[in-house]
C-alpha cells in the first residue's frame, strides 16, 4: 500500500481514522471480490459526495420489496465504503439525490423509453427531476433497479462514471445467464479448485450461510440470474423431499438478487428411487412421476428455474438406454416443467461408449438431426469446443448448425485444463475468441447465434442463454486465487453482453478489485491479457490438445497410450510419430471439418489457411513442415513451449514490479501462485519437449534448453491426491 | 449489539469512528476466535492505557527472534484492538511500560526465581524496575515470553487482570500438548465437521496460507506446542520427499509460535514404497530405512516432533503382522528418532479383527503386559475411555495400570459422537470428568497420572503429554460453529493444566469470545456447562453407549444388528431385550471391571455403588430395576430422554434471551444451530424410546410424549452424504 498514503494524503482525517483500526481488520483477503468499495481519492470523493446527497426509492418505504431493499442496501454499502458515510433512505428528492424508480412508482420514468430495456435492463441518467438535479436509476422492475445500482457503483468505483457525461443504459442480450455448479451432495466439487462447495447441504435448511447473500450480491452485480446448484453428474437424492427443502432455503436467500435456482436431474431418478419400473421417457408412469415431482418442487420454490441434464454421456443414464432420442428425453421433462414456466437445459456434451472415430464429431452427429424437434422450453447446452474445455479449441460446429433449436453456450470458468486455480489464465480472451468466431453460412458470430436463439430471424426470440461452470468454492477468495475471480467476472459480463470486449472487462475488474489508478490497471490488464496465451504455449501450442495427466488432468502426460478406450489417451489426440504430429480432421482423416459451414470447412481443410493456433487440431503434418515463420514445425513447436515459459516469467516479473502499488497480502499471495505457475510451466515444457523429441527422433533446435530431467522422470510422477476429482 | 452503545457511550469518539466504517467490516464472523481484542469499556481502557505506555523487549531490537517478534506483535495487536492504539516497540523503560525479559536479557529477571517455570513457563508481575513501575513479562525463553504475553492479554481482555492485584505465574504441567489432525492428503478430514483441512497440501510448499499464522497464534495462546498434521489412518506418501517439503513449509510458519510439527506414520511405509521387502520392525533393513527417513526429515525440519502411529487397529498395518509386539514396533521407530530428540506417540486404541469378547477390554489386555518395555522416547496414547469417544465413558482402565510407561491422554475435540458441529456440547466438563477420576491404587486422579509420567514418583519426570483430535477446518469459524471453538480452547487450557476447572475455562472463553460483561458471561457459561449433559441425556443416558448410526455416526440407530462383526452393532453394546438392558461387565459378564484398581472395580461391580450415569455401561439390569429416584429403570430411561430434549429447549431459550447482548450475526448463527439441535434431540429421543419400547414391550410411562413417527420411519432414514467419512 506504499503508494496509497500519497494519493490519500489530502484525506488525512479519514486516513487517521483507518490507522486507528487494528491493522488486520483492513487486510485484503479477497473475500470482497470486485465489490470492495474502498475510499476513493479525494477529488473523486468530493464529486461523488455531491451526487449522493440523498437516496430515494420512488415507491416509498412502504412499497419496497426484498430486491428494492437489496438495491438500496448496496448503494449505501458502496457509499459508506467509498465516502465514509452514506445517506439513509429518504423520501424527498433534492439536488444530488440518487433516485430509484420504475414506471409504476415514478411517473417521470414512463417518459424515458424504458420498454426496450425489458424486465432486466436499466438506465442510469444524470437529469433534472421535479426541479432538482438527480441521478436517476430507472428500470421496468426492481431487479432492473438492482442491476442499475450495481452499474452506477461500478462506474463510481472505477472512476469511469463519476461525472456521468454519458448515461448508462443496458439490457442483457441473453435471457438465461446461469452458473453451473459441479457441486456434489457431499460438498466436494468436481473440477473444483477453490475448496468445498459453498452449499453446505448438511447444515441446510436450518442453518443458512451468510456467504450465500454475498454470492447473490456478486452475481447480481454481473447480471447472472440463475444457478444450477448441483453437479451434472447428478444423484437421485437431489430430487427427494429433504433436498428440495435444502434447495428451497438457498432459493429464498438468492431470490432478492434475481437469481433462480435450478437443479441437475439424473435421468433415471424415478427408477432409482424405486418409484417406477423404468426411466423410459415415453412410459406414461415415468412422465407422470416427473410431472408430480415438478409440482412438488414448485410448491417449495415457486420460481424454480428448471433442470439441467447430462444424459447418455460418460456413463450417465439417458433416453438412449430405451432407444429414445435426446429430444424424447428432454421434451418429457420439459412437459413436466412447462406449466410452471420451467426450462430444460439439455447438454450436447455426449461422449458415449461406442465409436471412437473422432470424439470431436459425436455431438454434432447426434444432435444436428434433432434440430427443430425440441419443445420450446428446452435449450441445448453446447460446450464452446467439441472436445472438452481445452486451453484452445475451435468453436463447436453445432453453433449455426441447429437454426431451429435454441443453443446455450457452456463455458468452463473453473480451470480444469488450464492449471487449476494455481495458474493465472484470464479466460476473458478465450471466451471472446469463441464468441467472436464467425461460423459462416450467414449466421455471423457465435455471439449472434446465441442471441438469436431458435427460429426465423425476424420472429420474436426464443429462449437464449449462456452457462458457465463455476469456479466458486469455500476458499476465502471464492475462486481459489485472486486472479481467478476475474474469470467469474468476465463470464458474467459476457453472459450479459456476448459482444463485450475481454480487455475492457479486465480493466473494469482490475479497477474495482485492485485500484482504479492507471498505474495499476494498465500493467495488470496487460498481464491478464497475455496470460491465457502463455498457458496455451507451455501446455498445448499450435492446436495440440488433450495432453494432460489422466483423471485429475494435472500436468503433462502426452505419452499416455494405455487407457481403456482410444479416445481417453493423449496419443489419440496428438498422433505424434516419426512422420509428424497432429490430428487429421480433413477429408483424408476424420473429416470433422465437414461439420463446419462450407466457408469455414474450406479454411480448416487447408493447413495454409488454418489459423496457426489451430493447425494441429485439424492437420497431421510432418516435422519439417514449413511454418509461416519460416521455421520447421518441430522448431516452431519447441519455440512455442519456450515462449510459454518466457511468458510465465514475464508475468511474474510484471507482478513483482507492482509491489509498491498493491496491498501486501494479495501481492504476496499472487506472487506465490506465479512462482508455482512458473515451476509448472517449465515442467510442462520440459516433459512435452522430451516426449515429442523421443517420438520425432530429432535433435533439439539450436539454442533450445534441454529438458531438466529425463522423460522417465516425468513419466514417473503421480498425483493421487489432486483436487477436483471428488 | 444493542447493549453496547450504552456501555460504550462514554467513548463516543472511538464509537463514531467505528460507525464510519462500513458496517460489514466489523461484523463478527468468528474467525478471530478468542483473540478478538475488541475495544474495552472506558474505565478499563483508561486503566489499561496507563499500564501500556511503552513496550520494551529487554534484549533490544537486535536480539529479538521470530518468537520474540510474535510476542511483541501480539501485544501490539491486542492493545490496538482494546485501546485503539498501541505503543511501538521501544528501548527505554518508563512508568507504565510493558517489559519482556529473560534472565539472559534482563539481569533483574534472574532474581525472580524463574527456574521452576522451566522453558515454557512465564511470570507476569506488576513491579518496580529501574525506578519505574512496569509490567514485567518474564520467562526463561522467548516462548515463555510469548505465553506470558498471551496470559497478560487474556487477563486484560477479560477484565480479570487489569489491576494485577495478583501476579500471573504459570508453567505447563504436561510437556507435549498436541493436536492430532485427522486430515487426509486430499484435504478431507476424517470426523471433521468444519470444512476441509486447513493444510492445502496441493498448494504447498510454494503457496503458504496466511491462516496458518493465525492457527499458530491461537494455539500459542493456549500453550499448545505440537501438531500432528495428518490422519492416524496414514498413507505412505506423507513420508516421501514432496510431502516432507510441504510439512516443512508448515513447520516454518508454526515455529515462531513454539509449535512442533509431527506426522502420522503408516507402519508399512517402506514396504509399500517398495524400499524394503517387509515392514517387520526387527528386520535390519526396515530399521535402517526408518533411520535414514528420520535423518531426511530432520534435514528439512530440524525441530520435527516425531511420529504418531496407529498400528494393528481397524485394519492398519503394524508389528503384529510379523508376530512382533507393539513395543517392538514403537521402539524401532523410537530408535530412528532418538538421535534427533524425536518421540513416538503410539496409540493404544487397538481394535483388532478377532475376539469380540468385550471390545472395552482389548487395549488393556494388549498393553498392560508391555508396561516398562517401551523406549524412553515413546509415549502410549490412550483414549479417555475404552470404547471410542462416546458422550460418556468411564476413565480408561489403562490409566494407573502402566506405571512404567508414559501415558498420553487422547481426547477427541471434534464431536464425532456428540452431534458433529451442529450440537452445542461443551466438552470441558467431559474432559474434567475424566481427568478428575481417581483411579485408585494410590495413583490419584487421571490428571496426576498424566503429570507423573512413567517411573518412580520421586524421580525426574519422564515424557508427559496430552493429545486432542482437532475440530479445526477451513470453515470461517475454524470449528464449524461458534460454540465449538470453546472445545478447542478448553482442550488447550487443560493440556497446559489438567487440574484446571471446566467452568472457569468456560468463563475465560466466553469473556474473550463474546464479552467480559457478566450479563453475558454468566448465562452463556451456564448454557455451556449444561450442554454436554443434555447431549448425553437425549443420546445415551444412564451409561448407554454406541447407539449411533453406522459409519457416519450421525443420529440414533440402536436397532442395528446386522453388521460384519458383533462389536460393530449397537445391539452388542446395549443388549436390550425383554429381560432388561445394559452391558454386564461384572464378573458374571465380560468382567471388564477387573481391569480397574480393586477399589474402583468393587464400586463398578455393584449396581448400587456404580454412579448412575455409568449404570448400564457396567450392568445389565431388568426394566423394573428400582433407581435411586424410586422410578423403574424403564421410567427413568424415558425420563432421561425427555430431560435431554427439555435441556436442548432450555439452551435455546437461554440463548434467545441473550439477543440484545450478542452481536447480530453470531447470535443468529448460534440460534440456527440450536434450532437444528433441538430437532435432532427430539429425533434421538423419539427413535430411541420407540426402539427400546419395541424391545421392552412396556407401555410408555405416564406423561411421556409418544414418539412423533413410527420406529420404521426412523429405521428408514439414510445419510449417504454425511460429513466426516472422508
Contacts 24+ apart (CB under 8 A), B709-712: B711/B559, B711/B687
| Per-residue pLDDT at B520 exceeds 50 | yes
Q: Do A137 and A70 fall into the same domain?
A: yes
Q: How many domains does chain A have?
A: 3
DSSP string, A160-180: SSTT-SS-EEE--SSSEEEEE
Are the Cβ atoms of A422 and B474 closer than 8 angstroms? no
Are the Cβ atoms of B474 and A77 closer than 8 angstroms? no
| Per-residue pLDDT at B16 exceeds 50 | no
Q: Which of B393, B416, B451, B475 is catalytic?
A: B416
Distance from CA of B724 to the nearest CA of A (A): 10
pLDDT tens sequence across B522-540: 999 999 999 999 999 999 9
Q: Which of A27, A29, A314, A561 is catalytic?
A: A314
Q: Do A119 and A75 fall into the same domain?
A: yes
Q: Do B470 and B362 fall into the same domain?
A: yes
Tell which B residues from 510 to 549 touch A, by Cβ distance under 8 Å: none
Chain B positions touching A672 (Cβ under 8 A) are: 206-208
| Per-residue pLDDT at B454 exceeds 70 | yes
Q: What is the pLDDT of residue A159?
A: 76
Q: What is the pLDDT of residue B19?
A: 39
Residue in chain B closest to A423 (alpha carbons) equals B203
Q: Cell for A258? A: 434475481
Distance CA B678, CA B652 (A): 8
Q: What is the mean pLDDT of residues B658-681?
A: 98
Task: Please give the ipTM for the structure prediction.
Answer: 0.94
Chain A positions touching B211 (Cβ under 8 A) are: 476
Mark whether B388 is an active-site residue: yes
Torsion sign (Cα): A448, A450, A451, A454: positive
Low-confidence stretches of chain A (pLDDT < 50) are: 1-25
Distance CA A364, CA A329 (A): 18
DSSP string, A632-646: BHHHHHHHHHHHHHH
Strand partners, A580: A577
Q: What is the pLDDT of residue A360?
A: 93
pLDDT tens sequence across B101-115: 999 999 999 899 999
Contacts 24+ apart (CB under 8 A), B569-577: B570/B546, B572/B356, B572/B546, B573/B387, B573/B544, B573/B545, B573/B546, B573/B547, B574/B544, B574/B545, B574/B546, B574/B547, B574/B616, B575/B620, B576/B692, B576/B695, B576/B696, B577/B695
Are the Cβ atoms of B20 and A208 closer than 8 angstroms? no
Q: What is the pLDDT of residue A540?
A: 98
Are the Cβ atoms of A672 and B24 closer than 8 angstroms? no
Of B77, B84, B720, the CB nearest to A24: B77
Q: At what angle do helices B284-300 and B241-254 cross, to 10 degrees?
A: 40
DSSP string, B212-255: HHHHHHHHHHHT--EEE-S-SS--GGGGSHHHHHHHHHHHHHHG
Of B196, B673, B723, the CB nearest to A195: B196
Mark whether B642 is an active-site residue: no
pLDDT band at B21 (very low <50, low <70, confident <90, very high): very low
* Residue among A370, A433, A391 at smallest CA distance from A611: A433
- Boundaries of domain holding B708: 537-583+620-716
Q: Cell for A461? A: 426470440
Last residue of some domain: A136, A170, A204? Answer: A170
Strand order of the sheet with strand B97-101?
B89-90, B54-57, B97-101, B132-139, B122-129, B168-170
pLDDT band at B46 (very low <50, low <70, confident <90, very high): very high
Distance from CA of A196 to the nearest CA of B (A): 7
Q: Do A211 and A162 fall into the same domain?
A: no
Residue in chain A closest to B73 (alpha carbons) equals A23
**Average model confidence (pLDDT) for chain A?**
94
Chain A positions touching B679 (Cβ under 8 A) are: 206
Q: What is the mean pLDDT of residues B296-313?
A: 98
Distance CA A363, CA B250 (A): 47
Q: Do A194 and A332 fall into the same domain?
A: yes
Chain A positions touching B20 (Cβ under 8 A) are: 14, 17, 84-85
Are the Cβ atoms of B80 and A22 closer than 8 angstroms? yes
Residue in chain A closest to B23 (alpha carbons) equals A77
Q: Does B565 fall in a domain?
A: yes
Chain B positions touching A549 (Cβ under 8 A) are: none
Q: Which of B27, B314, B599, B606 is catalytic?
A: B314
Chain A positions touching B665 (Cβ under 8 A) are: 210
Distance from CA of A241 to the nearest CA of B (A): 12
pLDDT tens sequence across B155-166: 999 876 556 567
Are the Cβ atoms of A17 and B17 closer than 8 angstroms? yes
pLDDT tens sequence across B559-579: 999 998 899 999 999 999 999
Q: Does B573 fall in a domain?
A: yes
Are the Cβ atoms of A201 and B721 closer than 8 angstroms? yes
B36 in contact with A, Cβ within 8 Å: no
Tell me: cis bond preceding A205? Omega within 30 of 0 counts: yes
Tell which B residues from 707 to 726 touch A, by Cβ distance under 8 Å: 720-723
Q: Do B181 and B160 fall into the same domain?
A: no
Distance from CA of B604 to the nearest CA of A (A): 40
Q: What is the pLDDT of residue B159?
A: 76
Chain B positions touching A709 (Cβ under 8 A) are: none
Last residue of some domain: B433, B453, B476? Answer: B476
Kindly report the backbone phi and psi dihedral angles of residue A121, in degrees, each rounded to the nearest multiple of 5, phi listed first: -75, 170
B23 in contact with A, Cβ within 8 Å: yes
pLDDT band at B12 (very low <50, low <70, confident <90, very high): very low
Among the ranges given (B344-353, B563-572, B610-619), the one the predictor scored with the smallest mean pLDDT: B344-353
Distance CA A175, CA A161 (A): 26
Strand order of the sheet with strand A122-129?
A89-90, A54-57, A97-101, A132-138, A122-129, A168-170
CATH of residue B279's domain is 3.20.20.80
Q: Does A454 fall in a domain?
A: no
Q: Do B196 and B288 fall into the same domain?
A: yes
Q: Do A191 and A267 fall into the same domain?
A: yes
Distance CA A424, CA A676 (A): 10
Residue with cell 476424420: A590
Q: Does B589 fall in a domain?
A: no
Q: What is the pLDDT of residue A622?
A: 98
Chain A positions touching B195 (Cβ under 8 A) are: 195-196, 474
Of B14, B17, B81, the CB nearest to A22: B81
Strand partners, A412: A469
Distance from CA of A285 to the nearest CA of B (A): 25
Q: Do B213 and B242 fall into the same domain?
A: yes
- With contact defined as beta carbons under 8 Å apart, do B326 and B366 qualify? yes
pLDDT band at B17 (very low <50, low <70, confident <90, very high): very low
Q: What is the pLDDT of residue A16?
A: 36
Are the Cβ atoms of B23 and A723 closer than 8 angstroms? no
Residue in chain B closest to A726 (alpha carbons) equals B186
Q: Which of B388, B591, B650, B669 is catalytic?
A: B388
Distance CA A265, CA A342 (A): 13
Do β-strands A176-180 and A226-228 pair in parallel, antiparallel, or remain unpaired? parallel
Phi-psi group of B306: left, alpha or beta (phi > 0 → left; psi -120 to 50 → alpha; rest → beta): left
Q: What is the pLDDT of residue B165?
A: 60
Are the Cβ atoms of B186 and A17 closer than 8 angstroms? no
Strands (DSSP E) contained in A194-253 are 226-228
Chain B positions touching A237 (Cβ under 8 A) are: 720-721
Distance from CA of B153 to the nearest CA of A (A): 15
Q: What is the pLDDT of residue B441?
A: 87
Distance CA B264, CA B258 (A): 20
Distance from CA of B177 to the nearest CA of A (A): 28
Q: Do A98 and A147 fall into the same domain?
A: yes
Q: Does B506 fall in a domain?
A: no
* Residue among A491, A508, A529, A517 at smallest CA distance from A663: A517
Q: Do B97 and B136 fall into the same domain?
A: yes
CATH of residue B155's domain is 3.30.379.10
Give the 3-state secondary structure of residue B118. coil
Q: Does B529 fall in a domain?
A: no
* % chain B with pLDDT above 70: 94
DSSP string, B142-153: HHHHHHHHHHHH
Tell which A residues from 419 to 448 touch B, by Cβ distance under 8 Å: 420, 422
- CB within 8 A of B718, min separation 6: which ones? none
Q: Do A289 and A399 fall into the same domain?
A: yes
- The size of chain A, in residues, is 726
Mark whether B314 is an active-site residue: yes
- CB within 8 A of B38, min separation 6: which ones? B81, B82
Last residue of some domain: B153, B170, B187? Answer: B170
Contacts 24+ apart (CB under 8 A), A707-711: A708/A682, A711/A559, A711/A687
Do β-strands B168-170 and A226-228 pair in parallel, antiparallel, or remain unpaired? unpaired
Of A80, A186, A196, the CB nearest to B23: A80
Are the Cβ atoms of A675 and B23 closer than 8 angstroms? no
Count of other CB atoms within 10 angstroms of residue A6: 8
- With contact defined as beta carbons under 8 Å apart, do A592 and A585 qualify? yes
Distance from CA of B182 to the nearest CA of A (A): 16
A81 in contact with B, Cβ within 8 Å: yes
**Average model confidence (pLDDT) for chain B?**
94
Distance CA A148, CA B547 (A): 56
CATH of residue B672's domain is 3.90.1330.10
Q: DSSP letter at A395?
A: P
- CB within 8 A of A620, min separation 6: which ones? A575, A579, A580, A581, A582, A583, A584, A589
Residue with cell 514396504: B271
A16 in contact with B, Cβ within 8 Å: no
Q: What is the pLDDT of residue A455?
A: 73
First to last CA, chain B: 39
Q: Does B628 fall in a domain?
A: yes
Q: Cell for B660? A: 440484545
Q: Does B510 fall in a domain?
A: no
Amino acid at each position: 500500500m506504499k503508494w496509497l498514503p500519497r494519493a490519500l494524503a489530502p484525506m488525512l482525517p479519514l486516513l487517521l481514522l483507518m490507522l486507528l483500526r487494528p491493522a488486520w481488520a483492513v487486510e485484503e483477503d479477497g473475500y470482497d471480490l470486485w465489490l470492495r468499495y474502498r475510499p476513493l481519492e479525494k477529488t473523486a470523493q468530493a464529486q461523488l459526495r455531491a451526487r449522493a446527497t440523498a437516496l430515494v426509492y420512488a415507491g416509498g418505504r412502504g412499497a419496497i420489496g426484498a430486491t428494492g431493499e437489496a438495491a438500496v442496501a448496496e448503494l449505501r454499502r458502496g457509499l459508506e465504503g467509498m465516502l465514509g458515510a452514506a445517506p439513509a433512505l429518504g423520501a424527498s428528492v433534492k439536488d444530488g439525490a440518487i433516485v430509484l424508480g420504475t414506471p409504476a412508482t415514478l411517473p417521470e420514468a414512463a417518459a424515458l423509453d424504458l420498454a426496450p430495456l425489458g424486465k432486466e435492463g436499466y438506465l442510469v441518467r444524470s437529469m433534472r427531476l421535479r426541479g432538482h438535479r438527480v441521478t436517476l436509476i430507472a428500470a421496468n422492475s426492481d431487479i432492473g433497479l438492482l442491476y442499475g445500482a450495481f452499474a452506477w457503483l461500478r462506474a463510481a468505483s472505477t472512476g469511469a462514471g463519476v461525472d456521468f457525461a454519458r448515461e448508462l443504459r443496458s439490457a442483457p442480450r441473453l435471457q438465461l445467464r446461469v452458473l453451473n455448479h459441479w457441486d456434489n451432495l457431499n460438498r466436494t466439487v468436481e473440477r473444483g479448485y477453490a475448496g468445498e462447495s459453498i452449499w453446505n447441504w448438511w447444515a441446510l435448511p436450518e442453518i443458512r450461510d451468510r456467504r450465500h447473500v454475498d454470492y447473490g450480491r456478486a452475481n447480481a452485480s454481473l447480471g447472472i440470474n440463475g444457478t444450477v446448484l448441483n453437479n451434472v453428474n447428478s444423484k437421485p437424492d437431489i430430487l427427494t423431499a429433504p433436498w428440495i427443502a435444502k434447495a428451497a432455503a438457498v432459493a429464498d436467500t438468492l431470490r432478492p438478487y434475481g437469481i433462480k435456482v435450478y437443479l441437475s436431474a439424473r435421468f433415471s431418478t424415478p427408477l432409482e428411487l424405486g418409484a417406477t419400473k423404468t426411466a423410459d421417457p415415453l412410459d406414461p408412469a415415468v412422465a407422470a412421476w416427473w410431472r408430480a415431482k415438478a409440482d412438488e418442487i414448485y410448491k417449495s420454490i415457486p420460481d424454480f428455474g428448471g433442470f439441467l441434464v447430462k444424459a447418455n454421456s460418460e456413463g450417465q443414464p439417458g433416453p438412449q438406454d430405451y432407444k429414445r432420442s435426446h429430444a424424447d428425453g428432454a421434451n418429457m421433462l420439459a412437459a413436466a416443467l412447462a406449466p410452471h414456466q420451467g426450462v430444460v437445459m439439455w447438454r450436447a456434451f455426449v461422449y458415449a461408449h461406442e465409436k471412437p472415430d473422432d470424439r470431436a464429431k459425436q455431438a454434432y452427429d447426434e444432435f444436428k438431426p434433432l434440430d427443430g424437434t425440441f419443445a420450446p422450453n428446452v435449450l441445448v447446452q453446447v460446450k464452446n469446443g467439441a472436445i472438452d474445455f481445452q486451453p484452445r479449441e475451435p468453436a463447436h460446429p453445432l453453433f449455426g448448425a441447429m437454426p431451429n433449436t435454441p443453443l446455450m453456450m457452456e463455458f468452463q470458468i473453473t480451470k480444469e485444463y488450464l492449471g487449476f486455480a494455481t495458474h493465472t489464465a484470464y479466460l476473458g480472451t478465450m471466451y471472446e475468441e469463441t464468441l467472436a468466431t464467425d461460423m459462416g453460412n450467414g449466421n455471423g458470430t457465435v455471439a449472434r447465434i446465441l442471441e438469436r436463439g431458435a427460429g426465423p430471424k425476424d420472429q420474436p426470440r426464443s429462449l437464449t442463454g449462456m452457462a458457465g461452470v463455476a469456479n466458486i468454492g469455500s476458499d476465502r477468495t471464492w475462486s481459489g486465487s485472486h486472479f481467478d475471480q476475474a474469470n467469474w467476472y468476465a463470464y458474467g459480463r459476457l453472459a450479459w453482453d456476448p459482444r463485450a470486449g475481454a480487455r475492457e472487462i479486465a480493466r473494469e475488474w482490475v479497477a474495482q478489485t485492485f485500484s482504479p489508478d492507471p498505474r495499476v490497471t494498465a500493467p495488470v490488464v496487460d498481464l491478464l491479457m497475455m496470460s491465457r496465451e502463455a498457458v496455451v504455449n507451455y501446455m498445448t501450442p499450435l492446436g495440440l490438445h488433450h495432453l494432460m495427466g489422466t483423471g485429475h488432468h494435472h500436468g503433462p502426460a502426452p505419452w499416455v497410450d494405455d487407457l481403456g478406450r482410444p479416445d481417453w489417451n493423449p496419443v489419440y489426440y496428438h498422433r505424434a510419430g516419426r512422420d509428424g504430429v497432429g490430428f487429421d480432421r480433413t477429408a483424408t482423416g476424420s473429416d470433422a471439418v465437414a461439420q463446419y459451414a462450407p466457408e469455414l470447412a474450406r479454411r480448416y481443410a487447408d493447413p495454409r489457411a488454418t489459423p496457426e493456433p489451430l493447425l494441429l487440431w485439424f492437420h497431421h503434418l510432418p516435422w519439417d513442415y514449413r511454418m509461416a515463420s519460416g521455421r520447421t514445425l518441430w522448431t516452431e513447436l519447441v519455440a512455442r513451449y519456450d515462449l510459454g515459459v518466457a511468458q510465465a516469467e514475464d508475468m511474474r516479473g510484471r507482478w513483482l514490479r507492482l509491489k509498491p502499488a498493491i496491498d501486501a497480502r494479495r501481492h504476496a499471495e499472487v506472487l506465490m501462485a506465479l512462482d508455482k505457475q512458473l515451476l509448472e510451466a517449465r515442467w510442462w515444457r520440459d516433459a512435452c519437449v522430451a516426449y515429442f523429441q523421443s517420438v520425432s527422433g530429432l535433435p533439439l533446435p539450436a539454442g533450445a534448453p534441454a529438458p531438466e530431467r529425463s522423460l522417465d522422470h516425468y513419466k514417473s510422477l503421480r498425483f493421487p491426491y489432486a483436487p477436483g476429482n471428488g
